[in-house]
Amino acid sequence: MSRVYNFSAGPSMLPLPVLEKAQQDLLNYKGSGMSVMELSHRSAEFTEVITEAEQLLRELMQVPENYKVLFLQGGASQQFAMVPMNIFTKSKKADYVNTGSWSKKAIKEAKKFGDIRTIASSEEDHFTSIPKFDVSMIDKEADYVHITTNNTIEGTAFREIPDTGNIPLVADMSSNILSEEIDVSKFGIIYAGAQKNIGPAGLTVVIIREDLVGHAPESVPTMLDYKTHSEKDSLYNTPPTFAIYMAKLVFEWLKNLGGVKEMGKINQQKADMLYQYIDESKLFTSPVQKESRSIMNIPFVTGSKELDAAFIKQAQSEGLETLKGHRSVGGMRASVYNAMPKEGVEKLVAFMEQFEKNNQ
């Protein structure tokens, strides 16, 4: 078997023990004679899967009692619309922080539903930092404030969760959920596409404070109302059963590894290894300002398009896959999500050192 170290931004690597377990269960799940994919979503076996998945996620993230955990579809992109459709409860005004391509998409979508202000932005410095903002900049009438905690394309992240006072904070946490400890009680809504730190694509996790559920106007389609999914424990219609099962296996793997605190330490070590080398290197540089660096997505450049292309090609032949930066940024990007083992980062750094020597 030859597996590679896959540095893709998502869908991305899954832990090997998770894939092996899924393989074992594939044809006959727990003696049912069926694959999880073939089980009714109302069966006892699947009820156990979805219940355990929710319990594990609650435990891993220490989700308070007054929050609902929803397993939805439509990707994080659908949340760009569902959030304003559901929680424009009073003023239909919301404040957004613009930290990159995904924030921009969230802002564009929300503008279809209300009065959206961008209260802070790092667009002027090409999104290489997280802009400073404080509670005094927030419109007191705003129904919510929206941030993207980790910017997958640009490689920046909020190192501290901003205080938004009484205004609910909504976070797109697609690319750093479960990567380090966070205090869920600081948020009104957290949402994330699964395909980075949770499992396969097709599942979207929403963690929502109960008082924010049940405000959607009548005109909102049933499937886009948080209340529909909240009342039916994510089983109003057929959920993405196999993706939920895979997420459950990932949550078990993460728990066995020591939970999110331990994962956070490992992720910091992996990121430090890579940044330390980049900072010492005479060939590679990081375009991101130090205090805003993501520990999940790490872009770097040589300054030469030809060398970047040669790097990506040679890396691939060494089993280091999908290192090409996003088309809007160029260069390289190493996405080192939870499932990327330390050995993968060590191998990448060793390859970068060799490449630098060969291209002095």
172 catalytically annotated: yes
Residue of 95, 143, 172, 225 marked catalytic: 172
Distance separating alpha carbons of residues 21 and 215, to the nearest angstrom: 41
Distance separating alpha carbons of residues 130 and 138, to the nearest angstrom: 17
User: Candidates 86-94, 169-177, 314-322, 341-349 — which segment interacts with ligand PMP by CB under 6 A?
Assistant: 169-177
Q: Write the DSSP assignment of 219-258 as a string of letters.
A: TS-GGG-HHHHHHTTT-SS---HHHHHHHHHHHHHHHHTT
Distance separating alpha carbons of residues 82 and 324, to the nearest angstrom: 32
196 catalytically annotated: yes
| Beta bridge partners of residue 189, listed in sequence order | 170, 208
| Interface with ligand PMP (CB under 6 A), residue from 102, 251, 337, 351 | 102
DSSP letter at 161 equals: P
- Let me know: does 94 contact 212? Beta carbons within 8 Å: no
152 contacts ligand PMP (rule: CB under 6 A): yes
Q: Write the DSSP assignment of 59-118 as a string of letters.
A: HHHT--TTEEEEEE-SHHHHHHHHHHHHH--SS-EEEEEE-SHHHHHHHHHHTTTSEEEE
Write the binding mask 50 to 89 for ligand PMP: x where contact by CB under 6 A, - elsewhere: -------------------------xxx------------
Residue of 68, 95, 143, 196 marked catalytic: 196
Smallest gap from residue 244 Cβ to ligand PMP (A): 15
- Return the number of the residue (29 or 158) whose C-beta is nearest ligand PMP: 158
User: Candidates 28-36, 162-170, 172-180, 240-248 — which segment interacts with ligand PMP by CB under 6 A?
Assistant: 172-180
- Let me know: does 270 contact 278? Beta carbons within 8 Å: no
Residues 131-150 close enough to bind ligand PMP by CB under 6 A:
148
109 contacts ligand PMP (rule: CB under 6 A): no
30 catalytically annotated: no
Smallest gap from residue 279 Cβ to ligand PMP (A): 25
Least Cα distance to 251 among 206, 204, 199, 176 occurs for 199
Give 32: exposed, middle or buried? Use CB within 10 Å, 0-12, 13-18, 19+: middle
By CB under 6 A, the count of residues binding ligand PMP is: 11
User: Candidates 39-47, 171-179, 181-189, 264-272 — which segment interacts with ligand PMP by CB under 6 A?
Assistant: 171-179
| Interface with ligand PMP (CB under 6 A), residue from 95, 143, 154, 172 | 172
- Closest residue to ligand PMP in the complex (CB): 75
**Active site residue ranges:** 102, 172, 196
Give me the residues that bind ligand PMP (CB under 6 A), please: 10, 75-77, 102, 148, 152, 172, 174-175, 193
